[in-house]
Structure 1
Amino acid sequence: MKKIYFICTGNACRSQIAEGYAKTLMPGWEVRSAGVEVHGLNPYAVRVMAEDGFDISQQESKLIDPNYFVACDVIVTLCGDVLDKCPVIPANLTHYHWNLSDPAKTHGDDAEILTSFRKTQALIKAHIQEII
């Protein structure tokens, strides 16, 4: 079974969204996400994924597992911050870098924050469909 790892800074939204999509859209793959820090699962990520019919409410924010990291076939980094802080990615692994802004840093009312999360969510879904 092929393994894919989605990694961002706090494993709160971008990588959680990616994991949620990949678990359904990439059958036959072992899918995990992690961060260089643990920020907890962002409720807006849960909310926008539910709008698209994906339940990520039981996912947890986790730190990078070094054993899984080196056993992966594909590593996906989702922001520049994690690319700088991530362990060195072995040359034999496929690496994708999606430099996505953090929707959790959006300031404004509920509608503005949701719009930011939906934009990031759409980009992630499109990128995963490109991998497939």
Structure 2
Amino acid sequence: MSERKRILYLCTGNSCRSQMAEAWTRAIHGDRYEVFSAGVEPKGIDPRAVRVMEEAGVPLSGQRSKSVEDLPKVDFHFVITLCSHAQESCPFFPASTRRMHVPFDDPPLLAKDAASEEEALDHYRRVRDEIRKFVEGLDL
């Protein structure tokens, strides 16, 4: 069997979207991809992201917020940026690394003016489900 392809999901804080993408990829395609996530400005994992992923049966346990410098020194086959800031601030990767940009809305920003906790969580759930759909279709 060939070596699993290595994917790095990159967003600003490595607190929500990239954490979700890492967990979904591991859960759905763990046999095909070795997956990592990082942020250009790590902030810690968002508790609401943890909550909505647990609701979906894909816990974020064992994951932590990290920068690219915190990752193992491996060559990534793919770096997928999930927000414009990460796309613009993406560090240099070798020419053999394929870069992709797949933007998703920022749940914390959307939830900022929510009238209730449930309304805030609905933003997280929508983005969680959009990321899952993207990951389900991965064929790199």
* Alpha-carbon distance, 1:130 to partner: 1.5
* Structure with greater Cα Rg: 2
Stretches of 4+ aligned residues off by more than 3 angstroms: 65-70, 88-91
Q: How many residues align?
A: 132
The answer for the alignment partner of 1:95 in structure 2 is 99
TM-score for the superposition, normalised by structure 2: 0.85
1:123 to 115, 118, 130: 130
The answer for the alignment partner of 2:23 in structure 1 is 20
* Alpha-carbon distance, 1:84 to partner: 0.7
The answer for the alignment partner of 2:121 in structure 1 is 114
- Report the residue type matching 2:16 in the other structure: C
2:67 to 48, 63, 79: 63
Q: Which sections of structure 2, spanning at least 5 residues, go unmatched?
A: none
The answer for the alignment partner of 2:43 in structure 1 is 39
Secondary structure of residue in 2 paired with 1:3: strand
Equivalent pair of 1:40/1:60 in contact (CA under 8 Å): yes
Q: What are the superposed Cα offsets for residues 76-113 of structure 1, whole Å, 9 maximum, x if unpaired?
A: 10000110111135443232211112101122121111
- Report the residue type matching 2:23 in the other structure: G
TM-score for the superposition, normalised by structure 1: 0.90
Identity %: 36
The answer for the alignment partner of 1:49 in structure 2 is 53
Aligned-CA RMSD value: 1.8
2:12 to 9, 14, 23: 9
Equivalent pair of 1:36/1:63 in contact (CA under 8 Å): yes
Secondary structure of residue in 2 paired with 1:95: strand
* Alpha-carbon distance, 1:14 to partner: 0.1
* Alpha-carbon distance, 1:55 to partner: 1.1
Q: CA distance change for structure 1 residues 36 and 53 in 2, over 3 Å: closer, same or farther?
A: same
1:76 to 53, 57, 80: 80
Equivalent pair of 1:12/1:38 in contact (CA under 8 Å): yes
Equivalent pair of 1:5/1:69 in contact (CA under 8 Å): no
* Alpha-carbon distance, 1:2 to partner: 1.5
